[in-house]
Structure 1
């Protein structure tokens, strides 16, 4: 008869892979380093392969073990969710949640929402990672991620939360110097500031379903939308930016939305979680909170 899976060893392997350290995993799990080392050795013997490259200064997952690390994290998350589901909410949600979000959106919208959540759920801790790069939430050990744009084609669980409107904006100074375009095709003759995380031409839709594509060519290309705002204020160009970056500047009249009859298609805000049907109660609580408070 086949042996049952060594679930303890798989859980410890997942922790070591995440921490990139036997000592770090031991501290996280509340175990001795010897216990962690023996569990990994036990799993390696059972699988017949090395799971880590070990040097005096560095520990890294072997290429063959990378997919195993992802599955181990998924198994651990599923087990945690099963235990919390079994408790049936007898205790308040508690524990640590790792969250990934875009930098500008995270500062403008996510951080204020998390403050209210942490005030409501005093036993929960949140580790918030803000980056405009495409974070691998499985490899990074994240419980959930927020992303703007097309969701990845993957095994991740994906939930659309809301639309994210974009505006074509310029400063009054720029418009006074270079004129105000009245048709989207005229943008090709203007200085356009680009966002490198969303490369490619701008697509705009106008009256009678007319569509125009314009490739931004200008003095500044940045991987942060916020980095384009000073150049906009200085009258150096026109930009296509989301409302969460330029909304307050539009209200103060420091920037103006131009081409009112031409609209860029809105992006969508998606919430991504690792595969699996069960999630810890703390993660379910945060998902519900984000869905409720980020709709606007």
Structure 2
């Protein structure tokens, strides 16, 4: 993909990593003006390639924009091809860590913070030439992770086929969200292990769940709950205490209640004719 400006000064290597500064890692500017121009050019590249990625995936809104990247801790890998003109951008790969609620192999819902593939696109004119794998391998080395440690956000059939062909990933763990994870996901050391082992979603039919949503229980809390359930303790007998003092006195008959319920009362309804 070509642009109106010369991209060679921005791409000192074939693949560059860009964070929320919107500048390639290791980029040095001689002046503030040069840095601002570079930021504007990188923003234009990200927006254009992100839009093409959305069109290729059939999405109405791009997943990757310069504004979204600036407001996050994610980062982007851009692949560049040098030529005798302005150069070409041929691929983009967006990754970042996200907090997810996923089903583990036993079917329990757990909260993990894991590395995710959020967007992946190689220009149609450069597909099936090994560039996608080159870009993906570069990301794996930079992030120091394995393919099965990644959660894939809304993968296309083409991306699923790519992962199966090059990395043998085929056994997915079904999820209720848009992410796809594979069997090796929960064995990964790149996730926050305290989140995986310590916090699990606890869903019950309690009114509190309906009002406040599901709660999270720790391993220790679940162990205590299980031990209490298994322990059979006889319930304490309830002893009724007789009322004492003024609470034990007999209450007078309520005439108004008897009138309302059409019951006979002890009060005479005839007028008193004994006048002096």
> Rg bigger for which structure?
2
Settle same-fold status: TM greater than 0.5.
no
TM-score range, shorter chain: under 0.3
More helix as a share of residues: 1
Name which structure has the greater RCO, CA cutoff 8 Å, separation 6+. 1
TM-score for both structures, normalised by structure 1? 0.25
TM-score for both structures, normalised by structure 2? 0.26
